[in-house]
A and B are shown apart, each in its own frame.
Chain A
Amino acid sequence: MHATKNRQLPLAIATSIALALASANAFAQSNETQLLNRLEQLAGELEKVKAELKQMKQKQDATPVLIAQAAAPVSASSRLGEGTQLTAYGEINYSRPRRDSSATQADVARFVTGFQHSFNEKTKVVAELEVEHAVKSSSDNGEVAVEQVFVEHRFNDSFGARAGLFLIPLGLINQNHEPHTFYSVNRPTVETAIIPSTLREAGVQLFGEQDNGISWSTGITTGFDLSKWDPLKVEGVESPLRTLHQEGQLARSKDLSFFGALDWRGIPGLRVGAGFTTGKAGHGTKGFLAPNARTTLADVHVQWTPGAWDFAAVYARGTISGAGALNASFSGAPYLVPKSFDGYYAQAAYKIPLSGDYRLSPFTRIERINTGRSFDGVVAGQNVTAYDTETIWTTGVSFNIAPTVVLKADYQKYKIVKDSDRINLGLGFSF
């Protein structure tokens, strides 16, 4: 039965094929034009499906590229991983005094590297480690320092807190001091001699920002230590507070300082602000002759950038009160603690865009500065009077070869200490 069925199958298939062919042939003969149209339609639909498949593949291929680029847009910093960025800046300078070429020197003025890491959407740590003058050893003049290390926590969009070692918000340079943020090879003298940038102390602060353009910060930090004053060292004349700040180095903390700062940027291109820090500086030192001495540093600043112009001005004033008895004890020593010291500068720059990222910025700046405007406790025989006010003109150009890479050249002219007249060249970068 099974064999019979098998023998009949080829015959059935052949019969079916023959019938089908005959049927198809008859159909084709009667509907040939319609069939061709249908085939062309199917071929068109097939091409469409193939195109869609190709498009899908292209999009899938493009997506990883997009992800990579979205995760790393044109970057000012180097991203180490989710939430972590490497940061750095450096300044390499050359200085040639006009009247004493033997004092010409080149210096890796500072190299700073650090990182920022976000722990979550509200909390981050910011840290910077600085090396000044290239080498620090027992026989070199360099310095290694933690420039900043603080934790920041935001309570909401416009209010937060920081704790750790942070920059005190004074002037225009102290918080924004990377080399591309100022035009001259060296930072303005007012913001190094009166405001000893980068001035940082350890403490806690609250800060806020409002939509009306007001930003503010206030906090408590370690302060200055007047017991560090050395009446035999000229550093106190160059910058009275630079020898007294503590910078988180085993900082004496019996007396703390209080600071506040306010800025307004309600009009595009305009910034007006002021800041201060004040605190006692005796720290209960046994036998110290200025136990109630108070150190105060304050500033007002304005920056206006209409179009390609950049105008800036800063006035800073410091006082050290209660140091009269201490000064009186420095018999025969040349450098007393000033009761007041101050300085201002006014600066104009014009940014000329060239091709690509190239930009040339000629600038000029006048500074008037006095690091010893008055003294308390001067006794007969000390022969210390108020210092003369120095006037410094700085004129030059800043040439950006990238937004944050800059070549600088300027000439500084001093009205009183003419031996300080000099040509400066500099290279700076930051990311």
Chain B
Amino acid sequence: MKSALTWLPTAAIVIVSPVYAGQYATVDEAAKRAFPDATEFKESVFQLSADEVRNVATVTGLPAKPVLWRSLLAMNGDKPLGVVVLDSVIGKFELIDYAVGIAYDGKIRNVEILAYRESHGYEVRLPAWRKQFFGKDKSSRLRVSEDIASISGATMSATHITDGVRRIVAVVDQMKAAGKF
């Protein structure tokens, strides 16, 4: 029963994801790039309580988002290395699917674009732009035009991904504080 409970929302997330996209990195590739030392990735769903959802919104200054977050726990044997959280945000018009790897110490290991659907603004895919996030954590501003450079011609996509990463960092911090990670 517990297994079914875990997979039900996961399946729901997968099912509702639109398919109109170029696939730039698979989830597995994103996870392995974030944690090359991992011996195993366990699929999991983070569930936030109402208080935790409010905390995330307060900390990030962003609207509340889903209470459930699909993720992969990176393990090296029994030792947790970190987590890869999957999410989607609107770029300018279309959804962008992306993954954020966060180490156990709370620092961002990578940001991978899984699917990009816009006609313009693909530059959020560029490795040089995504590297700006690496090593940042909950103490970072994680805001475009502050510690993350904007992208000429792709301002909305850059802003929304940056906001999304900031939210995920806060979500993982809440999970860690609650002992769920």
Contacts and interface: CB of A to CB of B under 8 A. Distances in A.
A389 B66 CA distance: 57
Contacts of B160: 74, 76
A378 interface: no
Contacts of B163: 74
Nearest to B126: A213
A285 interface: no
A356 B119 contact: no
A42 B117 CA distance: 55
Contacts of A76: 90-93, 156, 160
B117 to A, nearest CB: 7
Contact of B128 (A63, A67, A267): A267
Interface residues of A, number: 60
B120 A353 contact: no
A213 B126 CA distance: 6
Interface stretch (B76-84, B103-111, B141-149): B141-149
B129 A268 contact: yes
A380 B140 CA distance: 70
Interface stretch (A80-88, A252-260, A364-372): A80-88
Interface string A87-119: 100000000000000000000000000001010
Nearest to A357: B61
Given A65-B66, A118-B117, A70 B16 contact: yes
B122 A62 contact: no
Contacts of B148: 268
Interface in A181-195: 181
Given A66-B67, A209-B122, A181 B155 contact: yes
B156 to A, nearest CB: 6
Interface in B1-21: 1-2, 5, 8-9, 12-13, 16-21
Contact of A266 (B13, B65, B126): B126
A202 to B, nearest CB: 17
A211 B131 CA distance: 13
A391 interface: no
Contacts of A70: 13, 16-17, 66, 88
A211 B120 contact: no
B1 A56 contact: yes
Contacts of A383: none
A176 interface: yes
Contact of B61 (A263, A265, A306, A356): A356
B23 interface: yes
Contact of B94 (A116, A156, A175, A351): A116
Contacts of B145: 305, 307-308, 310, 351, 353
A66 B146 CA distance: 31
Interface stretch (A120-128, A136-144, A221-229): A120-128
Contacts of B132: 268
Question: Max chain A CB contacts within 10 Å: which of B61, B88, B92, B132?
Answer: B92
Question: Max chain A CB contacts within 10 Å: which of B89, B123, B126?
Answer: B126
A67 B159 contact: no
A419 interface: no
Nearest to A60: B8
A60 B160 CA distance: 29
Interface string B41-76: 000000100000000000001110111100000000
Nearest to A309: B145
B19 to A, nearest CB: 6
A353 B146 contact: yes
Contacts of B17: 70
B95 interface: yes
B120 A59 contact: no
Contacts of A120: 20
A154 B1 contact: no
Contacts of A71: 16
A404 B92 CA distance: 10
Given A62-B68, A83-B20, A306-B149, A213 B128 contact: yes
Nearest to A116: B93
A355 to B, nearest CB: 9
Given A66-B68, A76-B156, A175-B120, A156 B9 contact: no
Contact of A75 (B19, B61, B90, B131): B90
B123 A265 contact: yes
B18 A305 contact: no
A121 B19 contact: yes
A157 B21 CA distance: 9
A422 to B, nearest CB: 28
Chain A to chain B: the 6 pairs with minimum beta-carbon distance, closest first: A269-B149, A271-B152, A268-B149, A118-B20, A303-B152, A66-B66
12 contacts: A56-B1, A62-B9, A62-B68, A66-B67, A71-B16, A76-B93, A76-B156, A157-B22, A305-B149, A305-B150, A307-B146, A351-B145
Interface of B: 1-2, 5, 8-9, 12-13, 16-24, 47, 61-63, 65-68, 88-95, 117, 119-120, 122-123, 125-129, 131-132, 143, 145-153, 155-156, 159-160, 163
Given A75-B90, A116-B93, 5 more contacts: A211-B125, A215-B123, A267-B128, A268-B151, A353-B145
